[in-house]
């Protein structure tokens, strides 16, 4: 056979039909049913609904929504939740900074707490405070009254009855 011509498949009937008609390979065969059964779909739908109820209940618990109350606009609720969380975090950080200022020795801590610039004082996730010493140094330069001066008087001596 010549290489330029494609090979032709001969149409040979190996087994003849009793009716005399030949079967061709082009006839469609029975296709297996690939659609899911209706019961499987219903089971899946019920499982998804129960998962949805569970997630909604959990979300209501996190966002602080009462049982009978609807979630409504979830994005608005999440924004409110995050803003409340940030406000609480800021309040806790302020208390940590105030406690650290009160623990400083040699300073009038009440005055220092009022005059110190807290914008550069940061508290990280672990609770470590950064920038406090620099803020204290700046406050002592601007307001020298925050430093408690020690008197250089004579040490205390109890009264001696003999006068000595």
pLDDT tens-digit map of 51-89: 999 988 888 888 777 777 777 777 888 888 899 999 999
Query: Into how many domains does the chain fold?
Result: 1
Domain that holds residue 101: 90-149
> Is residue 163, in this structure, part of any structural domain at all?
no
> Is residue 136, in this structure, part of any structural domain at all?
yes
The pair of three-digit structure tokens given for residue 98, joined into one six-digit string: 């105030």
CA distances from 44 to 34, 64, 102, 133, 153 (A): 17, 30, 61, 62, 87
Of 18-22, 52-56, 135-139, the least confident: 18-22
Statement: the pTM of the whole predicted model exceeds 0.75: no
Alpha carbon distance 47, 41 (integer Å): 10
> Is residue 52, in this structure, part of any structural domain at all?
no
> Is residue 85, in this structure, part of any structural domain at all?
no
Residue scoring higher pLDDT (90 or 66)? 90
Contact call for residues 121 and 135 (beta carbons, < 8 A): yes
């Amino acid at each position: 056979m010549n290489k330029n011509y494609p090979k032709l498949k001969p149409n040979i009937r190996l087994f003849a039909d009793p009716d005399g008609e030949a079967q061709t390979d082009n006839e469609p065969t029975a296709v297996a049913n690939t659609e899911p059964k209706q019961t499987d779909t219903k089971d899946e739908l019920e499982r998804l609904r129960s998962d949805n109820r569970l997630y909604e209940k959990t979300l209501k618990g996190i966002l602080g929504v009462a049982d009978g109350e609807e979630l409504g606009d979830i994005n608005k609720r999440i924004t409110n939740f995050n803003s409340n969380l940030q406000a609480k975090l800021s309040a806790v950080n302020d208390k940590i900074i105030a406690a650290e200022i009160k623990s400083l020795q040699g300073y009038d801590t009440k005055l220092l707490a009022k005059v110190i610039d807290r914008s550069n004082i940061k508290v990280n996730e672990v609770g470590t405070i950064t920038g406090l010493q620099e803020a204290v140094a700046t406050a002592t330069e601007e307001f020298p009254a925050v430093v408690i001066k020690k008197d250089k008087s004579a040490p205390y001596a109890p009264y001696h009855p003999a006068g000595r």
